[in-house]
């Protein structure tokens, strides 16, 4: 009886180890194959990649509207052009941020992601996202409120992160 218990324990341990080993073995997984972004080639293109327009809404004077509205532009060369009442500011965007913005533009344009997206809000700040393809053609990706959308909010956060205080 003792030998039978030992034998059953050994068989169970072997089965358990075999199961663990087969689960942890690397198996080919289907991954979404995405072409690598060639930043150097994109930087050779002149002109804007993305414009993010900030459009305040609600009751305000003309002066308040003009002070609160502006356009931030990301260029293919990796610059961020920011509004400034004295002179325009041009800052270099990090490669990581540039790739994020570029992939956002391509994904939204190719899949028309925000064609049917809207938020039921009547006050606050609206945003307009305009993508420029490599030929300079403009494409509206979205225009409206972004309170409930993490992806659009993240794009605004990235671009506005280059604002000079």
pLDDT in tens, 136-149: 999 999 999 999 99
Q: What is the pLDDT of residues 84-127, one digit of tens each?
A: 666 677 899 999 999 999 999 999 999 999 999 999 988 889 99
pTM of the model: 0.76
Range of the domain at 94: 39-160
Mapped onto helix, strand or coil, the DSSP state of residue 122 is coil
Q: CA 138, CA 34: separation in Å to the nearest integer?
A: 24
pLDDT at 17: 47
Q: Which tokens in the block code for residue 52? A: 């993010």
pLDDT at 74: 97
pLDDT at 67: 84
Decide if 53 is inside a domain. yes
**Residue 123 CB: number of other CB atoms within 10 A?**
10
CA 28, 34, 36, 42: dihedral to nearest 10 degrees? 180
Decide if 22 is inside a domain. no
Decide if 18 is inside a domain. no
Contact 155, 52 (CB under 8 A): yes
pLDDT at 83: 77
Decide if 94 is inside a domain. yes
Q: CA 81, CA 100: separation in Å to the nearest integer?
A: 17
Q: Is pLDDT at 33 greater than 70 in this prediction? A: no
Q: Is pLDDT at 27 greater than 50 in this prediction? A: no
pLDDT at 122: 82
Say how many domains are in the chain. Answer: 1
Mean pLDDT of 121-135: 94
pLDDT at 36: 85
Contact 131, 109 (CB under 8 A): yes
């Amino acid at each position: 009886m003792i030998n039978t218990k030992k034998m059953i324990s050994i068989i169970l341990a072997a089965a358990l180890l075999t199961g663990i080993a087969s689960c942890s073995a690397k198996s080919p997984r289907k991954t979404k194959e995405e072409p690598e972004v060639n930043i150097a080639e994109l930087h050779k293109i002149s002109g804007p990649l993305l414009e993010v327009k900030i459009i305040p809404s609600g009751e305000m004077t003309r002066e308040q509207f003009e002070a609160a509205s502006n356009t931030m532009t990301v260029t293919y060369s990796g610059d961020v052009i920011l509004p400034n009442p004295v002179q325009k500011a041009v800052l270099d965007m990090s490669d990581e941020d540039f790739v994020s913005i570029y992939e956002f533009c391509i994904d939204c344009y190719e899949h028309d992601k925000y064609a049917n997206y809207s938020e039921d809000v009547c006050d606050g700040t609206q945003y307009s996202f305009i993508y420029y393809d490599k030929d300079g053609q403009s494409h509206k990706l979205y225009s409206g409120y972004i309170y409930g959308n993490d992806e659009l909010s993240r794009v605004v956060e990235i671009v506005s992160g280059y604002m000079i205080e």
